[in-house]
Amino acid sequence: MNRYLILLTRRPNLDPAMVPLHLAFLDGLREEGCLELSGGFSDAAGGAYLLRADDLAEANAIVHRDPAHVSGGWDITVHEWLAH
């Protein structure tokens, strides 16, 4: 399994009702064992999570199910994490 850093930056049109749905999604990933870390930025501009997936295609497929992505309220980037 590889690690992927998912960065989320809030857009001005963010619907606050999506935040609990996004957090519930992350809880589900945690229960599945594919989420290592998650958290918001101290300036409330967004957050990040560290995801385990077989490859970039799988990581993107997971991210595309995230209510943060579906709602369009965040800019999201996916980076493979090469931890040492």
Identify the pLDDT of residue 11. Answer: 96
83: pLDDT strictly greater than 90: no
pTM here?
0.93
Q: pLDDT tens digit string along 18-46?
A: 999 999 999 999 999 999 999 999 999 99
> 84: pLDDT confidence band, cut at 50, 70 and 90?
confident
Q: Which fold has domain 2-81?
A: Alpha-Beta Plaits (3.30.70)
String of DSSP letters for 45-72: SEEEEEEEESSHHHHHHHHTTSHHHHHT
